[in-house]
């Protein structure tokens, strides 16, 4: 169990540092070529891909150790779907949240070394209303987080089904996370992961912590719904723990 929790800690650290780091450090990068400003940033598509790559790489690295959940919503969805032990859930969630805070801490250490850095830019925190990148409402944010987490878990449950082609699950899951970020970043900066949301919010404080409730409740609801539906859809018998 200790190895599983350490794997979840480092895996979620990597997800937060890699995904949020791409948003904070590389999404918009302006340099000067002579007197002409040149944008070398990776943009929303690059950030979306970065999040997908963090999960894809870690799934291959630690999937055989802990299952590579990296996300309390994933753990809950797998629990409801009969793929995960309830007794292991609290430890996984704590390890994931601590890993995310550690990843955000490393990112803050690096980002704050740049002249003019300020947390007022959001530090890749999730938000709605005036803190939504596209100005989307609470209702829009709630719907996006529930629906996108639902489909993310549906893909995870399907790709890791024993009847699915073996060895390809990390690729499907990584690309799924990329796709849902392409859809959801303008709405909430996209969470689908309560741990990922918690790390940056701890450093931003204020509004980020006040709005954090949405990014716990909505992903957990979406994940639980997928955990209920997938066994019915696939004719899969739940394991008893």
Mind listing the pLDDT tens digit for each residue in 172-227?
999 999 999 999 999 999 999 999 999 999 999 999 999 999 999 999 999 999 99
Residue with the larger pLDDT of the pair 33 and 209: 209
Q: What are the tokens at 194? A: 């309560």
Q: How far apart are CA 8 and CA 96, in angstroms?
A: 6
Average pLDDT of span 46-54: 97
Indicate the fold that domain 2-113+120-234 takes in CATH.
Answer: Glycerol uptake facilitator protein (1.20.1080)
Per residue in 129-166, pLDDT tens?
Answer: 999 999 999 999 999 999 999 999 999 999 999 999 98
* Torsion sign (Cα): 64, 50, 185, 133: positive
Q: Say how far apart CA 50 and CA 180 lie, in whole Å.
A: 12
Q: Are 132 and 187 in contact (CB under 8 A)?
A: yes
Q: Which helix (DSSP H) or strand (DSSP E) does residue 37 occupy?
A: strand 36-39
Q: What pLDDT does 40 receive?
A: 83
Q: Is the pLDDT of residue 122 over 60?
A: yes
Sign of CA dihedral 52, 58, 61, 65: negative
How many alpha carbons fall within 13 Å on the CB side of residue 135? 0
Question: What's the mean pLDDT in 26-43?
Answer: 81
- pLDDT tens, 72-104? 999 999 999 999 999 999 999 999 999 999 999
Instruction: Give the per-residue pLDDT at 237.
Output: 60
Long-range contact set of residues 104-109: C-beta below 8 Å, sequence gap at least 24: 104/16, 104/17, 104/20, 104/199, 104/200, 104/202, 104/203, 105/199, 105/203, 106/13, 106/17, 107/16, 107/17, 107/20, 107/21, 107/24, 107/25, 107/200, 108/203
Enumerate the β-bridge partners of residue 36: 33
Question: Would you place residue 120 in the very low, low, confident or very high pLDDT band (cuts 50, 70, 90)?
Answer: confident
H or E element, residue 163? none
What confidence category does residue 30 fall into, taking pLDDT thresholds of 50, 70 and 90?
confident
Output the pTM of the full model. Answer: 0.92
Residue with more model confidence, 209 or 27: 209
Check residue 239 and give its pLDDT: 53
Q: Which two tokens stand for residue 53?
A: 């790559």
Measured at the CA of 114, the angle between CA 112 and CA 120, to 5 degrees, comes to 55
């Amino acid at each position: 169990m200790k190895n599983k929790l350490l794997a979840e800690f480092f895996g979620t650290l990597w997800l937060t540092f890699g995904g949020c780091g791409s948003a904070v450090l590389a999404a918009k990068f302006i340099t000067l070529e002579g007197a002409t400003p040149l944008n070398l940033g990776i943009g929303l598509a690059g950030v979306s891909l970065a999040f997908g790559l963090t999960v894809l790489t870690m799934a291959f690295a630690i999937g055989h150790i802990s299952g590579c959940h990296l996300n309390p919503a994933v753990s809950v969805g797998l629990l409801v779907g009969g793929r995960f032990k309830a007794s292991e859930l609290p430890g996984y969630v704590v390890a994931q949240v601590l890993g995310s805070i550690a990843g955000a801490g490393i990112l803050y250490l690096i980002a704050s070394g740049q002249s003019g850095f300020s947390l007022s830019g959001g530090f890749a925190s999730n938000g709605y209303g005036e803190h939504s990148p596209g100005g989307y409402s609470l209702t829009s944010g709630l719907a996006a987080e529930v629906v996108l987490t639902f489909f993310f878990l549906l893909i995870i449950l399907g790709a890791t089904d024993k009847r699915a082609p073996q060895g390809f699950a990390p690729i499907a899951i990584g690309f799924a996370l990329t796709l849902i970020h392409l859809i959801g970043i303008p709405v909430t900066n996209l969470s689908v992961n309560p741990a990922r949301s918690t790390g940056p919010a701890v450093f931003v404080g204020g509004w980020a912590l006040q709005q954090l409730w949405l990014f716990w409740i909505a992903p957990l609801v979406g994940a639980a719904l997928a955990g209920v539906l997938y066994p019915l859809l696939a004719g899969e018998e739940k394991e008893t723990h």
